[in-house]
Amino acid sequence: MNQGFIMPALRALSRLGLLATLLLLPRLSLAQEAKCDDGLDDDGDGMVDCADAECAKLPACKPDGNPEDTNERCSDWVDNDEDGEMDCDDDDCGASHVTVCQGSWDSRKARAAAAKAQSQGNVSQAPTQALPTLGEGMTVQDLIGKGGDIDGERNDMDCADGIDNDGDGMVDCADFGCRFDESVTVCQGNPNMRFSVVGMLTQEYDIEEEVHDSRFSRLQLRTFGPIPRITNSFYLISMLVERTPRVTFAMFQIPLGKKGHFLGVNSGAAGLSQANAISIHKQLLIDRPNLSGPMEQFNSAAVELTGPIPSDSKLKYRLFAAGGNGRFDGNIGGRTVSGGNQNYPWGGGAQLHMNLIGFYSRFDTPFLYTPVPLTLGILAGAKYDEREEERFYSGNLHVALRYSRFITMFEGYTKRELEFKSWQHSYHIQAGFLLWPEHLMIAADWGEFLGGEMENEPAVLTSTLKRQRDTMQYRAGIHWYFFRYIGVASIVYRNQLIREGFGRDEQRTHDVKGVIRYFF
């Protein structure tokens, strides 16, 4: 073939291709960016909705004069309040409840704290949004407690309250604990109303009775997050979906001023015990120990007031009052009265929370996923209760220590019953050790409830009084994180002895449970 003919032909074809492309491009681009409010890059040019020049003049992309104060309005490429600053360049988008701009917006508070730390020569404590360099084999979870992070706020409530609880200059989702602790979900993606699921599949073997059982032991549906239009607020609604679906817990918390004080209402879980404060999916041995049940009888509704003393959160107070007959979980909308008893149950108390080292919260999970900084917290409180059959004072002490791969918690409870003249005590010790970070953890606990003698025998033994029998329990378990923090497989051994009393024989529970839990 004549090479002199080939080259001119190729050049002609390339020119025809270029001409065709130039003619078709306008038609393609005009045809594909049809919607400017669907959150999609319809024409594939890298510009979404109002960021695309084709949408700039459409009504959907015109400013409406209202503030830029939500995740949606801070990422829509519109200067909504017409102040000359758009999206993350607008100071309004630096609010703690707006997270689409976190990491790109340096708050004035953080800058002021950094300037103060640097002026004092304390550069290591100067807060920063930047991440320290990860060493070989490190993950972002290893940053908790490093790079100016004192300890890390580690639960959804502390990570949504707009307060720098641990005093390291980083608030809520900017704090390494909130950003990287796998148990914190409010900072994962959009922090608006969230929905989560806790599912547990259990295989149980009763050693005493030699009986097997397989069941879906729990399906819990939860929604939580900030209350719309109330900055630094928080709500949680939890429902169990069983044979009779029921709401097991509801709470709403709003700020009082700007110094870390909060007013909250909940469905009657105002007590002192840490065991009842955290959700069932955070129980280190799968189930609650239930050794303080006679001291922690539920009400139907409760109100709480919390805040710092002073403002650095090293010392915090908690006041609470509760009323109504809420003897069982899921009492929302109903009332349970036993034996025709119409006495009105109510109670109130106070608790003092001391952070001696680091920052600890009663809502923290005892599960360890990666090594943690040194933390030592103490909670001490007292309360008075009037129940259907009883009147009593009680006091509680809770101590929590965690360091590196180890966590241990002690709780002691004492109750003085006034109607039947008895002393009751309970204690519970639990410990956990992270054998293999992000993979394997072991745990064990030991506890007792000591009912004591009643000087005045009750005329009628209600179900509540019958539960006040001496109880001893110890458990041991191993947890495998088979899919990050979302999927956990556990084996738990339990040995429980309820001693004879109130006309009932001794009762022993001796079983092994295999549990697969999903939490997302």
Same-domain check for residues 185 and 288: no
Task: List pLDDT tens digits, range 65-85.
Answer: 888 878 778 777 788 888 777
Quick check: is 43 in a domain? Answer: no
How many other CB atoms are there within 10 angstroms of residue 497's CB atom? 15
Same-domain check for residues 403 and 270: yes
State the pLDDT at residue 424: 95
Per-residue CA distances from 144 to 372, 399, 433 (Å): 7, 22, 18
Same-domain check for residues 276 and 393: yes
Quick check: is 130 in a domain? Answer: yes
Does residue 22 carry a pLDDT above 50? Answer: no
Quick check: is 391 in a domain? Answer: yes
Find where tokens 């009332």 sit.
335
Lowest model confidence (mean pLDDT) among 95-99, 116-120, 317-321: 116-120
Take residue 145 and report the two structure tokens written for it: 């407690």
Residue 195 and residue 176: Cα distance in Å, rounded? Answer: 23
Final residue in a domain of this structure, among 142, 176, 191: 191
Average pLDDT score over residue span 482-500: 93
Does residue 324 carry a pLDDT above 90? Answer: no
What counts of helices (H) and strands (E) characterise the chain? Answer: 4, 16
Does residue 130 carry a pLDDT above 70? Answer: no
Helix boundaries (H) for 80-218: 108-119, 176-180
Residue 262 and residue 324: Cα distance in Å, rounded? Answer: 23
Same-domain check for residues 410 and 314: yes
- Look up the CATH number of the domain holding residue 367: 2.40.160.10
Same-domain check for residues 137 and 197: no
Quick check: is 387 in a domain? Answer: yes
Whether 351 and 272 have beta carbons less than 8 Å apart is answered as yes
State the pLDDT at residue 122: 36
State the pLDDT at residue 511: 94
Which residues partner with 430 through β-bridges? 409, 445
Same-domain check for residues 171 and 298: no
User: Measuring CA to CA, which residue among 256, 281, 280, 276 is closest to residue 266?
Assistant: 276
Same-domain check for residues 232 and 134: no
* pLDDT > 90 in the chain, percent: 37
129 is in which domain, residue-wise? 119-191
Residue 26's pLDDT band (cuts 50, 70, 90)? very low
State the pLDDT at residue 510: 92
Q: How many domains does the chain have?
A: 2
Quick check: is 75 in a domain? Answer: no
Task: List pLDDT tens digits, range 347-396.
Answer: 999 999 999 999 999 999 999 999 999 999 999 999 999 988 889 999 99
Same-domain check for residues 176 and 243: no
Does residue 229 carry a pLDDT above 60? Answer: yes
Same-domain check for residues 396 and 342: yes
Quick check: is 81 in a domain? Answer: no
Final residue in a domain of this structure, among 170, 191, 212: 191
Same-domain check for residues 250 and 350: yes
